[in-house]
């Protein structure tokens, strides 16, 4: 099926690592023009090199700390020089595993800044542009942890739950302007290996103890109806579904779970 994404301009925050990497590559395969904004510019440039080998849309990488207003503004200004922002993907995330009483309060700010405040900044800068355009699609990556409480990811889950609520309110506010906002909520989705994540990815810490990582993975899989964890391309395909006006054009304020059935609404 032709998703109608060829020639569309797509700005991706965190499009260089794990799910973001897969998403960038799928957009490139569809012929979209991709601008990857990431702190790990080397990883982002490798994705750009892969995308350019397809000989379809244009691809570019820019350094960006998504928690810093000036960085996001600079990237958005550059994106607008290339044309209207048709689609924005925000998949920046970071976490520490541990219960609330185990997590050091010194780490609270980083968890909140990366998982919540970075999205606030992007919304505040980009949504007025889409409103003025009277069109645009913004897809935010939340998590099954924002829908199904899990003791080992309390602050991360709280941030992801907040993104779902905020997305609903913004979809109500901006729908009349033709702006669509949706959420993809992946379940546990480990990368195939450390080479598929950025230097700052929390998966580098998670995977540093292979035995512990495998044990946690087996615990997760035992509670997932499909009995497997996600593949990055599972969630990436969901992003493209929502980004396309062919498949997701009449969807806004929606949460598309890609979690193997772990969360099922009543």
Residues designated as active site: 156
Contact 36, 75 (CB under 8 A): no
Report CA-CA distances (Å) from 237 to 58, 212, 232.
Answer: 20, 29, 9
Residue 4: phi, psi to the nearest 5?
A: 70, 25
Q: What are phi and psi of 11, to 5 degrees?
A: -105, 125
Residues in the chain: 266
Q: Is 164 left (phi over 0), alpha (psi -120 to 50) or beta?
A: alpha
Rounded to whole angstroms, the Cα distance separating 126 from 88 reads 8
Whether the CB-CB separation of 242 and 2 falls below 8 Å is answered with no
* Other Cβ atoms closer than 10 A to 209: 11
């Amino acid at each position: 099926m032709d998703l109608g994404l060829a020639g569309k301009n797509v700005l991706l925050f965190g499009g260089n690592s794990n799910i973001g990497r897969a998403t960038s590559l799928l957009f490139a395969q569809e012929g979209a023009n991709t601008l990857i904004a990431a702190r790990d510019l080397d990883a982002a440039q490798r994705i750009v090199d892969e995308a350019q080998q397809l000989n379809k849309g244009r691809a570019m990488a820019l350094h960006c700390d998504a928690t810093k207003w000036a960085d996001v503004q600079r990237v958005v200004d550059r994106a607008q020089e290339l044309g209207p922002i048709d689609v924005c993907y925000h998949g920046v995330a970071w976490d520490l595993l541990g219960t609330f009483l185990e997590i050091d309060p010194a780490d609270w700010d980083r968890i909140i800044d990366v998982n919540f405040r970075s999205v606030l900044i992007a919304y505040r800068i980009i949504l007025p542009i889409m409103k003025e355009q009277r069109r645009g699609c913004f897809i935010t990556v939340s998590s099954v942890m924002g829908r199904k409480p899990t003791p080992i990811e309390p602050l991360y889950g709280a941030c992801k739950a907040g993104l779902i609520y905020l997305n609903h309110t913004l979809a109500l506010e901006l729908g009349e302007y033709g702006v669509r906002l949706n959420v993809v909520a992946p379940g546990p989705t480990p990368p195939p290996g450390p080479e598929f994540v950025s230097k700052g990815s929390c998966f580098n810490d998670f995977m540093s103890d292979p035995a512990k990582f495998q044990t946690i993975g087996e615990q997760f899989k035992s509670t997932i109806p499909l009995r497997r964890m996600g593949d990055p391309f599972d969630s990436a395909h969901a992003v493209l579904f929502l980004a396309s006006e062919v498949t997701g054009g009449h969807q806004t304020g929606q949460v598309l779970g890609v979690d193997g059935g772990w969360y099922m609404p009543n």
